[in-house]
């Protein structure tokens, strides 16, 4: 179940970034990490801390409770 949540979160982050026409390089630079590291977050291969997740949500202007409210069947 936990892995499914991380994969869904990664998909959401990728989708929101693309909608805003931001690159992985831009996101990585703003977060102070490598593009490879950011790519791993977006692909669900790397789990990020809550702090990092909120940084990403802030950059994407996304309200975290919106993710929590979504309908998921676990």
The whole-number pLDDT of residue 72 equals 46
Number of domains in the chain: 1
- Is residue 68 assigned to a domain? no
**Mean pLDDT, residues 49-71 taken together:** 81
The whole-number pLDDT of residue 2 equals 62
| Cβ count within 10 A of residue 13 | 24
Q: Where are the alpha helices (DSSP H) in 20-63?
A: 24-31, 35-43, 50-59
Q: What is the CATH number of the domain that holds 50?
A: 1.10.260.40
* pLDDT above 70 for 13: yes
- Is residue 40 assigned to a domain? yes
Q: Which helix (H) or strand (E) holds 17?
A: helix 2-19
- Is residue 47 assigned to a domain? yes
The whole-number pLDDT of residue 4 equals 84
* Domain, as residue range, for 22: 2-62
**Mean pLDDT, residues 10-20 taken together:** 94
Close Cβ partners of 34 (under 8 Å, ≥ 6 residues apart): 28
- Is residue 7 assigned to a domain? yes
Let me know the angle formed at the C-alpha of 68 by 30 and 19, rounded to the nearest 5 degrees.
45
Instruction: Identify the band that residue 34 occupies on the pLDDT scale cut at 50, 70 and 90.
Output: very high
Q: What is the largest CA-CA distance in the chain?
A: 35
């Amino acid at each position: 179940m936990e892995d499914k949540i991380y994969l869904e979160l990664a998909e959401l982050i990728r989708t929101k970034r693309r909608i805003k026409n931001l690159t992985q390089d831009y996101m990585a630079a703003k977060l102070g990490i490598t593009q490879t590291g950011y790519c791993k977050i977006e692909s669900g291969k790397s789990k990020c801390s809550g702090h990092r997740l909120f940084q990403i949500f802030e950059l994407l202007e996304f309200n975290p409770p919106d993710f929590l409210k979504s309908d998921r069947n676990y």
